[in-house]
């Protein structure tokens, strides 16, 4: 199984907090690479897999995930996780912004967004 990247997700308040975080982490060298108004991703230009995610909400799931793990084959990981009996928080599905993903709860209760890009 290939893990492509791991992104910590930070929940922020709606409004100016996305901009404030963009400004602050820009000082550290991160650049905004995606902003849908409720979710923003910042990445290192020198190492694009070094990323931070900021979410004001989760539009298609019941909870904001604590971290995201991009894998090569999300369907295979989903099957393995389900077979192991882990708690699926959100079923596998395709999103309109070009990812296929599901959420699973780890043994300490953290919610992990497992995804792959479809486009």
Please state, for a pLDDT cut of 70, what percent of the chain lies above it. 100
Domain 3-117 in CATH 3.10.180.10? The answer is yes
Higher per-residue pLDDT: 37 or 14:
37
Average pLDDT, the chain: 94
pLDDT the model gives residue 1: 75
Per-residue tokens: 4: 């492509």
pLDDT (tens digit per residue) in 1-25? 789 999 999 999 887 889 999 999 9
> How far is 105 from 45, CA to CA, in rounded Å?
31
- Is the pLDDT at 84 greater than 80? The verdict is yes
Length of the chain: 119
Query: Which residues are within 8 A (CB) of 70 and not within 5 positions of it... i.e. 6 or more apart?
Result: 3, 4, 5, 6, 7, 115, 116, 117
Residue 71 CB coordination number (10 Å):
18
pTM of the model: 0.87
């Amino acid at each position: 199984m290939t893990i492509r990247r791991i992104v910590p997700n930070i929940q922020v308040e709606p409004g100016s907090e996305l901009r404030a975080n963009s400004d602050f982490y820009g000082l550290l060298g991160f650049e905004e690479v995606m902003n849908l108004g409720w979710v923003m991703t910042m990445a290192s230009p020198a190492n694009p897999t070094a990323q931070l995610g900021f979410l004001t909400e989760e539009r298609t799931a019941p909870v904001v995930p604590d971290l995201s793990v991009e894998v090569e084959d999300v369907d295979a990981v989903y099957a393995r996780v389900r077979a192991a009996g882990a708690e699926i928080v959100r079923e596998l599905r395709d999103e309109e912004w070009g990812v296929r993903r599901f959420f699973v709860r780890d043994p300490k209760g953290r919610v992990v967004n497992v995804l792959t890009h479809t486009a």
